[in-house]
Amino acid sequence: MAVGTHPESVVIVGAGQGGYQTAASLRERGYPGRITLIGAEDTLPYERPPLSKAYLKGPEHLTADEHLWLRPAEYYARQSIDLVTGVVTDIDPAARRVRLADGSGYDYGHLVLATGARPRTLDVPGAGLRGVHTLRSARDAAALRASLAAARGAVVVGAGFIGLEFAAAARESGREVTVVEALDRPLARVVSARTAEHFTRLHRREGTRLLFGQGVAALHGDGRGHVAAVELADGRRLPADLVLIGVGVTPRTGLAAAAGLPVSGGITVDSQLLTADPHISAIGDCAVFPEARSGDRLRLESVQNAVGHAQLVAERLTGTPRAYDELPWFWSDQFSTTVQIAGLGHGHDTEVVLGDDPDAFSVLLFRGEELRAVESVNRPADHLAARRLLGRGVGPRPEEAAAPGFTLKAHLARHREGPVAPVG
């Protein structure tokens, strides 16, 4: 029997999106052994996307933790998944055992690290004042929502997805919001200039103040330990009784590194999501893996990535190993806009835009002749077609896409029987 398949027991560290899905997929595939799902948070596994969206808009949208839970408590009992609340402090790879902060320990046949990531903070004076938030957990979101209810003016540092989603929710709750971004546009690392420009226009139209090319020098208090202003690098001061720091995350790799596993911008895994130790896998936000299409080593932060990784590990552990080759996709909701991204557009050299409605269009991103990614703004049908086309490797060439009357749906219909994309 191959190493890394059919273990007697599986211990999963991290009961978030990826950890939960690993346990659920193992049972769906008939895995008969013991499953222990260990999570540091004192709640059932839940989904994070609503935390920066509907959850913030107030009680009429999502009131209780239960609304976020991936499954109710009975599910875990029914599926014989042992849910343990606790912090894993170390792994002993030789003994195949993890230890928790309370002194307890669990032996494993296979260990899955699904430890996620922690939000970065700002290294400036005043970063520890009350009213200064980061957003990763349900607890963070509850604190942020309470702050928002009492806030007059909010400043968001960082125009990434989480910062902009919060800004949209805060504007919809009638708050003054300023977003401060060090680069010259929002979402610079994740979307094309065309799509970024749409979000700039959308936020300005809805009353969000956006300041680009600005760093933060310090946060100032009100004399009672609560934030009162943000000082920009150019010396300007923005009054703020709520500050959200949305400057990205750091993968949680400490356990893996201390156990001697290679770590480089995330826990290093191979195409089957195995670490250097064949009895330990790593998945989701904490894992750096080889992307099948480009060969680039990637760390992605998305629900789809965590779920896809989890399903692959469950397949391997139940005897069907394969290389991870799923097409990445992602979404974000802000005001009346949903952006959906299929594929990875970094390094593209040509853009073709479909649709002439400034609030509903798709941007096709090509590297050379090859379609690499499609960003769809309020065009869900394009997104679905793009996922199929990119998944099969039968995207249009730039000149085909630029021809009058071109649609992704019609192109898909012509290539329905096309070959499956070569991977690797």
Ligand X SMILES: Cc1cc2nc3c(=O)[nH]c(=O)nc-3n(C[C@H](O)[C@H](O)[C@H](O)COP(=O)(O)OP(=O)(O)OC[C@H]3O[C@@H](n4cnc5c(N)ncnc54)[C@H](O)[C@@H]3O)c2cc1C
Binding site for ligand X (CB under 6 A): 13-19, 38-41, 48-49, 51-52, 87-88, 114-116, 135-136, 162, 252, 255, 284-286, 301-304, 306, 330-332
Q: What is the DSSP letter of 51?
A: G
Tokens of 207: 């009353």
Residue 101 CB, shortest distance to ligand X, in Å, is 8
- Angle ∠(147,150,152) on CA atoms, nearest 5: 105
Q: Scanning the structure block, which residue is given the tokens 């029987």?
A: 417
Q: Which is nearer to ligand X, 18 or 398 (CB)?
A: 18
Question: DSSP class of residue 128?
Answer: T
Q: Alpha-carbon distance 242 to 156, whole Å?
A: 8
Q: Find tokens 């790799």 and name the residue.
A: 253
Q: Which is nearer to ligand X, 31 or 329 (CB)?
A: 329
- 30/19 Cα distance (integer angstroms): 17
Min separation Cβ 407 and ligand X, Å: 26
- Paired sense of beta strands 350-357 and 360-367, if any: antiparallel
Q: How far apart are CA 416 and CA 418, in angstroms?
A: 6
Report, in Å, the least distance between residue 37 CB and ligand X: 10
Closest to ligand X by CB, 53 or 411: 53
| Chain residue whose CB lies nearest ligand X | 16
Cβ nearer to ligand X, comparing 17 with 147? 17
Beta carbon nearer to ligand X, 51 or 180: 51
Please report how close the Cβ of residue 362 comes to ligand X at its closest, in angstroms.
Answer: 18
Nearer to ligand X, 105 or 225 (CB): 105
Q: From the CB of 236, what's the least distance to ligand X, in Å?
A: 28
What is the C-alpha separation between 168 and 179, in angstroms, rounded?
11
Paired with 10 in beta bridges are 35, 110
CB of 358 to ligand X, least distance (A): 23
CB 148 within 8 A of CB 259: no
In whole angstroms, give the CA distance from residue 402 to residue 364: 10
Q: How far apart are CA 261 and CA 276, in angstroms?
A: 6
> Of 44 and 240, which has the nearer Cβ to ligand X?
44
Shortest distance in whole angstroms from residue 188 CB to ligand X: 18
